[in-house]
């Protein structure tokens, strides 16, 4: 018994598979979407670090301002700078105290102080938090 397999000339009306151009376009679209996702992740991490600094710096500045408000004598209040110790490494502060002058109100002007507090963190003090207080000494 001899069986002979016959092949037909049957052809599909459409080609099977993808062309090289279609594959390249699909890969390009996937790469662009992937880069967008990675960019969002990177930006999220950066914003997280900045948010952590703003939260910590606000609390540290509030504590330092509470120390400044506890000073009773205006002669004891001077410009200064320092750090927050080992608990907050890399965080530094700078305090500047200035007289506030008003024309025609010399009696009050020497009792009013402008107090500026700056909290810094990071290489080259990249992150900065500023707080200003006006204090009247009776």
Q: Is 15 domain-assigned? A: no
Q: Is 8 domain-assigned? A: no
Predicted confidence (pLDDT) per residue in 23-43, tens digit: 999 999 999 999 998 888 888
Query: The domain containing residue 61 runs over which residues?
Result: 20-136
Q: Is 88 domain-assigned? A: yes
- Composition of the chain by helix, strand, coil, percent to 5: 45, 25, 35
Predicted confidence (pLDDT) per residue in 74-96, tens digit: 788 889 999 999 999 989 999 99
Domain count, the chain: 1
pLDDT of residue 99: 86
């Amino acid at each position: 018994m001899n069986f002979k397999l016959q092949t037909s000339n049957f052809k599909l009306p459409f080609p099977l598979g993808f062309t090289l151009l279609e594959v390249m376009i699909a890969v390009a679209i996937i790469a662009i979407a992937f880069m967008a996702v990675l960019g969002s992740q990177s930006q999220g991490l950066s914003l997280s670090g900045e948010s952590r600094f703003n939260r910590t710096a606000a609390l540290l500045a509030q504590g330092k301002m509470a120390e400044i408000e506890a000073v009773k004598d205006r002669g004891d209040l001077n410009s200064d700078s320092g750090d927050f110790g080992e608990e907050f490494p890399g965080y530094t502060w700078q305090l500047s105290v200035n007289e506030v002058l008003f024309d025609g109100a010399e009696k009050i002007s020497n009792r009013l102080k402008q107090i500026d507090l700056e909290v810094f963190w990071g290489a080259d003090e990249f992150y900065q938090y500023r707080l200003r207080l006006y204090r009247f000494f009776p």
